[in-house]
A = this chain, B = another copy of it.
Amino acid sequence: MHANNIVSHLPGVFLKSVADCKPDDNWVHSLGIPVCASHHHQLLEDPEIEAVVIATPSDTHVEMIIAAAQAGKQIFCEKPVAFEAEEVATAITAVDEAGVQLQVGFNRRFDPDFLAVKAAVVAGRIGTPQIIRITNRDPLRPDLDFIPKSGGLFMDFSIHDFDSVRFLSGTEVEEVFAMGTVLIDPEIGKLGDIDTALITLRLTDGALCIIDLSRETHYGYDQQVEVFGSGGSISARNTTPTNTILCAAQGVYTDKPHYSFVERYEAAFVAELRSFFAGVREGTPPSVTGEDALAAVRIAQAAQQSREKNRPVKVIS
């Protein structure tokens, strides 16, 4: 998807090579990309390549960030950077020492609706934030194969929400209480994960947040956010493929939400890369930093601990 987006939407960026452990030459060349590599070292060794986009399994991110940093490449890396705060810190250190930049793939920060919510908050249109509500629900449970390497519901899925809370509020998270359970598929439970959860957060400025999570809606990708404050409320509702409405004897139907993150955050995926490459070109700092990734991972860790111990847990800052 990132390769497609660069080729189709970022005319000023030249995508020289894609590396994959199972490289698909035909597909790579069909996009007009000259080099199809089977190992990421081939990219890191190419002096023509200025920047890399890492979209590999999460448990390989830190190693690749360090290698890319040492090779002097500018780095865009998908979320989560790692499952442990210490590992994220290691990656940040490597990046800092190499003097390169790292942008993390918290794509919601580039979504037009999330940006409009943020803008309303910053403009003071809802006063001081008091309650933030986030709904994050996937259309279909993931393959069971994915569960063990996912990092768990909080680290893999809700990591976006932890970043959204920080982004929308402009504040840090102080304390977390998480209630989680297995309601969709007992197999997920046998693998040590959960599929349904509520996470309550207290921010350092006193505001409260609630995140509700589900791995399976059947009706599409449910992505809603509200910031309620002393002067009102601003919400981003679900987006839909079309804006049509059908009235018939059986009922009144509108479109279901976009089916998955691919359609829902289509514009955001392009915008985050546009921002990254603009930063590379102009030498400006990235809009989503390694520190942002670290903060989100620390919240996810506290949520995990809270659920296991069934008590609120302070977030390390």
The residues of A with any CB-CB pair to B shorter than 8 Å are 7-9, 11, 31-32, 112-113, 116-117, 120, 125-126, 128, 130-131, 133, 135, 137, 177, 179, 181, 183-184, 196-198, 200, 202, 206-210, 212, 214, 216-220, 222, 228, 230-239, 241-249, 251-257, 310-312
With a CB–CB cut-off of 8 A, which chain B residues contact A181?
202, 206, 208
* Contact present for B212 and A112 (CB under 8 Å): no
Contacting residues, chain B, for A117 (C-beta < 8 A)? 244
Q: Which of B9, B116, B312 contacts A8 (CB 8 A)?
A: B9
Return the 4 tightest CB-CB contacts between A and B, nearest first. Answer: A232-B248, A218-B249, A219-B247, A116-B242
Name which residue of chain B comes closest to A178, CB basis: B200
Taking each of A184, A244, A312, which has the highest tally of chain B beta carbons within 10 Å of its own beta carbon?
A244
Q: Which of B125, B179, B231, B236 is A177 in contact with, Cβ under 8 Å?
A: B179
Are B256 and A252 within 8 A (Cβ)?
yes
Which of these, B126, B133, B228, B246, contacts A126 with CB under 8 Å? B246
Query: How many copies, total?
Result: 4
Q: Could you tell me the distance between the alpha carbons of A198 and B131 in the complex, rounded to whole angstroms?
A: 9
Q: Which residues of B contact A234 (CB under 8 A)?
A: 244-247
Smallest CB–CB gap between A108 and chain B, Å? 13
Q: Which of B196, B233, B244, B252 contacts A113 (CB 8 A)?
A: B244
Considering the chains assembled together, what is the distance between the CA atoms of A216 and B112 in angstroms? 27
Which of chain B's residues has its CB closest to A8's CB?
B11
Between A206, A212, A231, the greatest number of chain B beta carbons within 10 A of the residue's beta carbon is seen for: A212
In the bound complex, CA of A218 to CA of B252 (Å)? 11
- A268–B9 CA distance with the chains assembled, in angstroms: 17
**In the complex, A208→B247 CA distance in Å?**
19
Are B232 and A238 interface neighbours, CB within 8 A? no
Which residues does chain B contribute within 8 Å of A210, judged by CB atoms?
198, 200, 210, 212
**In the bound complex, how far is the Cα of B6 from the Cα of A8, in angstroms?**
11
State the Cβ distance, A162 to closest chain B Cβ, in Å: 16
- Among A133, A135, A253, A254, the one with the most B-chain Cβ atoms within 10 Å of its Cβ is A253
A256 in contact with B251 (CB, 8 Å):
yes
Given the contacts A214-B228, A242-B236, A252 and B219 also touching, CB distance less than 8 Å = yes
Looking at A238, A242, A247, A310, which has the most chain B CB atoms within 10 Å of its CB? A247
Contact check, A231 vs B249: say whether CB atoms are below 8 A apart: yes
Question: How many angstroms from the CA of A133 to the CA of B248 in the assembled complex?
Answer: 17
In the complex with contacts A198-B210, A210-B210, A212-B133, A244-B120 CB distance below 8 A: yes
Q: Is the CB of B120 within 8 A of A246?
A: yes
* A191 → B minimal CB distance (Å): 18
A130 to chain B, nearest CB (A): 5
Q: Is the CB of B252 within 8 A of A254?
A: yes
Chain B residue nearest to A129 (CB atoms) is B183
A9 (CB) vs chain B CBs: closest residue: B8
Closest-by-CB residue of B relative to A248 is B232
Decide if A179 touches B200 in the complex (CB within 8 Å).
yes
